[in-house]
């Protein structure tokens, strides 16, 4: 099989001597989420150079999620697809160069009743490593890269229930357009931000409700996000 030129390795790179491990990030920046780490003796083919960063093929165990609405009937992805590091629009998107002949995805996991799918990394997906971890060689083979997940976003794996009033934000926080508040002695106290890709929160705006979902904590944001599974009127 002949692949487009953009998928051929440019050169072989190996970590510098003395590095214990190196991080693979979703963006060519120190602010980019860490999606995998590799051992010091690992090596990878560099596909692109962006300033002080090197783009490599995304490691096999890095988390890749896609909304099921972007999956075609034949198992390939639609052109407008965004691939993310977690099951929701709050998670950052990968850099993805869609091949001329789309490949079929391999589904590894399902979340939210199949609304989000974890898939194996595809050709064209990039991760980024700082150049200080590399020394370059003229070889053209691509050894495997052992990795383990190292997510920046902490997500509770169990459902929790909380009561409050959904209020529309004047400006979105991440992907959240609503926050949940409590009114105590006439004061409005914010609890957290609401994420609801499947439910219409307009129907519950400014009403006392009971919300069941999973809690997310994102670095740099003081209050949690709630990934909503269910909304119902609060018991009086």
Pinpoint the residues of the chain covered by CATH 2.40.50.140: 160-233
Distance of alpha carbon 139 from alpha carbon 17, whole angstroms: 18
Closest CA to 58 of 143, 116, 135, 128: 128
pLDDT tens digits, residue range 93-148?
898 877 777 789 999 999 998 999 999 998 888 899 888 777 655 333 333 333 33
Which of 205-224 are b and which e, b meaning 16 or more Cβ less than 10 Å from the residue's Cβ? eeeebebebbbbebeeeeeb
Tokens of 215: 């809690």
pLDDT for 123 equals 83
pLDDT for 157 equals 61
Name the more confident of 9 and 154. Answer: 154
CATH code matching the domain that covers 160-233, chosen among 2.40.50.140, 2.40.30.10, 3.30.70.2500, 3.40.50.300: 2.40.50.140
Name the more confident of 157 and 217. Answer: 217
The residues with which 56 forms a beta bridge, in sequence order, are 46, 127
Distance of alpha carbon 190 from alpha carbon 163, whole angstroms: 12
Sign for the pseudo-dihedral over CA of 131, 136, 139, 143: negative
Q: What is the mean pLDDT of residues 188-200?
A: 84
Query: Which of 18-22, 101-105, 197-201, 221-225 is the least confident region?
Result: 18-22
pLDDT tens digits, residue range 69-106?
999 998 999 888 889 999 988 889 898 877 777 789 99
Taking the whole predicted model, whether its pTM rises above 0.85 is answered as no
Q: What is the dihedral of CA 158, 148, 64, 13, to 10 degrees?
A: 160
pLDDT tens digits, residue range 40-55?
667 777 778 888 888 8
């Amino acid at each position: 099989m002949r692949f487009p030129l953009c998928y051929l390795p440019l050169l072989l790179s190996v970590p510098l001597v003395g590095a214990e491990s190196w991080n693979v990030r979703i963006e060519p920046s120190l602010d980019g989420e860490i999606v995998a780490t590799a051992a010091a003796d690992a090596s990878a083919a560099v596909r692109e150079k962006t300033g002080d960063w090197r783009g490599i093929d995304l490691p096999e165990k890095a988390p890749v999620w896609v909304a099921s609405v972007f999956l075609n009937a034949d198992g390939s992805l639609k052109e407008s697809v965004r691939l993310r590091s977690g099951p929701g629009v709050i998670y950052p998107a990968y850099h993805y160069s869609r091949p001329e002949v789309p490949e079929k995805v391999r589904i590894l996991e399902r979340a939210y009743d199949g609304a989000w799918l974890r898939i194996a990394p595809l050709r064209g997906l990039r991760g980024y490593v700082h150049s200080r971890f590399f020394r370059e060689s003229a070889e053209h083979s691509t050894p495997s890269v052992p990795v383990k997940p190292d997510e920046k976003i902490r997500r509770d794996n169990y459902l929790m229930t909380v009561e409050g009033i959904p209020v529309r934000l004047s400006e979105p926080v991440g992907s959240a357009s609503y926050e949940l508040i409590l009114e105590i002695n006439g004061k409005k106290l914010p609890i957290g931000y609401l994420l609801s890709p499947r439910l219409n929160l307009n129907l519950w705006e400014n009403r006392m409700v009971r919300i069941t979902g999973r809690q997310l904590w994102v670095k740099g944001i003081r209050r949690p996000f709630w990934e909503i599974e269910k909304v119902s009127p609060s018991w009086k």
